[in-house]
Amino acid sequence: MKSKASDQLIYGIHPIREAMLSGKSLDKLFLQKDLKGDQFKELIELARNMGVSVIKAPKEKLNKLCRNNHQGVIAFSSPIEFGNIEMIIQGAYEQGLSPFFIMLDKVNDVRNFGSIARSALSSGCMAIIIPFKGAAAVSEDALKTSAGALHHIPVCKVSSLGDTIKMMSASGIATVACSEKADRSIHDVDCKRPINILFGNEGDGIEPHLLRMAGESALIPMHGAVASLNVAVAAGICLFEVSRQRYLK
């Protein structure tokens, strides 16, 4: 059964199981953390096979999300279908294109995410890569902020950003971390080659191990008293620098 308050919320063991078995795209699955049993194990396995974020939370948290009898399980459906990054990379190369992606390390503000999606689509970016855990919900609010862009650009959820960076490197795609600690400008980066631009969380930035794995970093030249930019603004600047290098005659 679904909550009348939101058609994105699904609750109860059997409704969520049926939703997943029918192929419905889910964004997050909340499980009451002290519950055990085969039914819950099956839900976790189904969710992980589908790339759905599984979050174990106390009963109080679930009660705030849903006032009805949720049986310890609540899911949020996604208004979009998620993409497969490996298939998208393969498809780009098969078409003779130079891959161009953006990767978000736990960017968790829905409006920032939607704004980034809008810039990504407009700049020619081929997909947005986010982690299973810690990322903004791909919700109707995100869709609205993106002005519908999320219907047109693939969003790929991955279990490990680090493993994905390694896979991309093996596929000839360079990952460039956008960091204010870098010693060169984004304008000096070769953006015509296969590239993946990495951005960090609004508060903590990029995880140190991902910065090391990226191998390259670049900053946005700034002047004046303000030392940093909102992540959506920073992403827009970098995305359109890639676009300028690739498409401006």
Lookup: tokens for 15: 């409704």
Q: Which portions of the chain are predicted below pLDDT 50?
A: 1-6
What is the reported pLDDT for 249?
64
Do 128 and 150 belong to one domain? yes
DSSP string, 94-119: HTT---EEEEESS---HHHHHHHHHH
What is the reported pLDDT for 2?
39
Do 70 and 119 belong to one domain? no
**Per-residue buried b or exposed e for 52-84, using 16+ beta carbons within 10 Å of the residue's own CB:** bbbbeeeeeebeeebeeebbbbbbbbbbbebbe
Do 123 and 229 belong to one domain? yes
What is the reported pLDDT for 239?
98
Do 118 and 192 belong to one domain? yes
Flag whether 159 is in a domain. Answer: yes
Which CATH number fits the domain that encloses residue 126?
3.40.1280.10
- Using left for φ > 0, alpha for ψ between -120 and 50, and beta otherwise, residue 38 falls in alpha
Residue-wise pLDDT for 207-233, tens only, equals 999 999 998 999 999 887 766 789 999
Q: Cα–Cα distances in Å, from 54 out to 22, 28, 158?
A: 18, 6, 13
Flag whether 49 is in a domain. Answer: yes
CA-based angle 245:151:83, to the nearest 5? 80
Report which residue type is found at 17.
R
Cα atoms found within 13 Å of the Cα of residue 230, Cβ hemisphere only: 10
Instruction: Using the 3D structure, point to which of 54, 77, 100 is the last residue of a domain.
Output: 77
Do 111 and 230 belong to one domain? yes
Q: Name the pairing type of β-strands 53-57 and 155-158.
A: unpaired
What is the reported pLDDT for 25?
85
Residues paired with 174 in a beta bridge: 195
What is the reported pLDDT for 248?
84
How many structural domains comprise the chain? 2
**Per-residue buried b or exposed e for 176-189, using 16+ beta carbons within 10 Å of the residue's own CB:** bbbbeebeeebeeb
Which CATH number fits the domain that encloses residue 35?
3.30.1330.30
Do 228 and 201 belong to one domain? yes
Instruction: Using the 3D structure, point to which of 52, 77, 102 is the last residue of a domain.
Output: 77
| Residues spanned by the domain of 91 | 85-247
What is the reported pLDDT for 193?
97
